[in-house]
Structure 1
Amino acid sequence: MKVINFSEQNTVINQYMAELRDKSYQKNRALFRNNIARIGEMMAYELSKTLTYKPKTVTTPLGTIDIPLVKDELLLATVLRAGLPFHQGFLNVFDHAENAFVSAYRMYTNREHTEVGIHTEYMASPSVKGKTLVVVDPMLATGGSMAAAYEALVKTGKPHAVHICCVIAAPEGIEFLKKSLPEECTLWCAAIDPGMNENKYIVPGFGDCGDLCFGEKL
């Protein structure tokens, strides 16, 4: 699996990440959601450089010109609910893409909340057969929900290529995906943090992305 970590580069993504992590900025949900979406837009742009293109002749009022356009059939898949603003950022760039939604969430399996299981409850997706599958989920902690979403999606067909996109990843999640997903997958991360705490939250991370975007849940 190829891993691309944008925190190793000097880009404006680091500014958005600093705001996402800052406790004072996190009080503004609109700003938090907007920064998640902006990172999605920039990541989508960088991902677009790896796709295949074919020329299309466009007629202007004064003549014609050949412009290379994306050849890949794109399918953007999102893990609910935290993935929605991130997904919107990708959709702002790949506005002709098809879309899929998977409800996959973590469940603690012991009283101490140190062991995690993943439950997949719902999926709405077209066939992924022959398409470039882009699965977006802001947090890659254990990797369980991402792997569960991927397994649910590929039941509809074999994709042409697979890209996994997240805002923050933990090394444990990356290693899990390397064992669970095809070797030719590409993982895109805005940052890779040192690890997780005993409750399987990424540290330093920025907390629960879904709660910070939309409010706390029961």
Structure 2
Amino acid sequence: MNNVTVVDHPLVQHKLALMRDKDTSTKSFRQLTREIATLLCYEVTRDLSLDEVEIETPIAAMTARMLSGKKLVFAPILRAGMGLLEGMLELVPSARVSHIGLYRDPETLDAVEYYFKAPTDLPDRLVITIDPMLATGNTAVAAIDRLKEHGAVDLRYVCLLATPTGLANLQQHHPNVRVWTAAIDHGLNDHGYIVPGLGDAGDRLYGTR
């Protein structure tokens, strides 16, 4: 699909398989989420721009390359997106964080907002929205709607699992937002859960299943 990158690195796929296993403990699921988030962060930031700067090593002066522009913004969708945030901050500890509180109405599957907080200079920063699951796509669309309302123009989306339905929905509403995912599963069940999926990511992260 257009603007979609499936991260098929062997370590990503191995960790995802462990996360899918219904017998994986809460502790292990949380650790795996943090680890896979770091690997996904590596991929989504692969093409960041660099500036040449003059530095001195203990041996000699040299021209080196460092990230250009303002720091990134990670925008986790609460609550499950917080499980990915920690692993991404390990790789980019200076990133700003925006919080987007959304839950999916169990009857309509529509996204309902209950909290939003973001840096005031979103237009000047790359904003990476993070959530484990891109199922129907309604939550992702709502989150990016809000970020754009607050001025974000350079947006990317990272998830563990996606479906063709969710990707199509996101691309219909936000065709300029690129997506990175560890896998594209084949569909949704009657309750809007990804099949085969890994269950409710929030419940498995926080032991509330």
User: TM-score when scaled to structure 2?
Assistant: 0.93
Letter matched to residue 16 of structure 1? K
1:102 matched to which residue of 2? 100
1:20 matched to which residue of 2? 19
Q: Deviations over 1:114-156 (max 9, x none)?
A: x312101101111311211100000100111111111112222
Q: Deviations over 1:146-181 (max 9, x none)?
A: 11111112222132x211000000111000001111
* 3-state SS, counterpart of residue 129 of structure 1: helix
Letter matched to residue 136 of structure 1? I
1:210 matched to which residue of 2? 202
Unaligned runs of 5+ in 1: 110-114
User: Which one of 170, 178, 184 corresponds to residue 176 of structure 2?
Assistant: 184
**Residues 72, 39 of structure 1: alpha-carbon distance in 2 compared, 3 angstrom cutoff:** farther
**Residues 168, 121 of structure 1: alpha-carbon distance in 2 compared, 3 angstrom cutoff:** same
**Mapped partners of 2:145, 2:61: distance in 1:** 45
- What RMSD, in angstroms, separates the aligned Cα atoms of the two structures? 1.4
**Mapped partners of 2:53, 2:28: distance in 1:** 38
User: Is 1:52 the equivalent of 2:49?
Assistant: yes
1:80 matched to which residue of 2? 78
**Mapped partners of 2:53, 2:161: distance in 1:** 37
2:118 matched to which residue of 1? 125
Q: Deviations over 1:50-101 (max 9, x none)?
A: 1111122222222222221121431110001111121111111111111101
Letter matched to residue 111 of structure 2? I
Letter matched to residue 82 of structure 1? A
CA contact (8 A) 1:105 1:145 kept: yes
* 3-state SS, counterpart of residue 68 of structure 1: strand
User: Is 1:150 the equivalent of 2:150?
Assistant: no
User: Is 1:11 the equivalent of 2:3?
Assistant: no
**Mapped partners of 2:23, 2:6: distance in 1:** 26
Q: Provide the identity percentage.
A: 29
CA contact (8 A) 1:53 1:69 kept: yes
**Residues 92, 21 of structure 1: alpha-carbon distance in 2 compared, 3 angstrom cutoff:** same
Unaligned runs of 5+ in 2: none
Letter matched to residue 104 of structure 1? L
Identify which range, 62-71 or 194-203, moves more after superposition: 62-71
CA contact (8 A) 1:21 1:205 kept: yes
**Mapped partners of 1:203, 1:186: distance in 2:** 23
1:71 matched to which residue of 2? 68
CA contact (8 A) 2:127 2:152 kept: no
* 3-state SS, counterpart of residue 116 of structure 1: coil
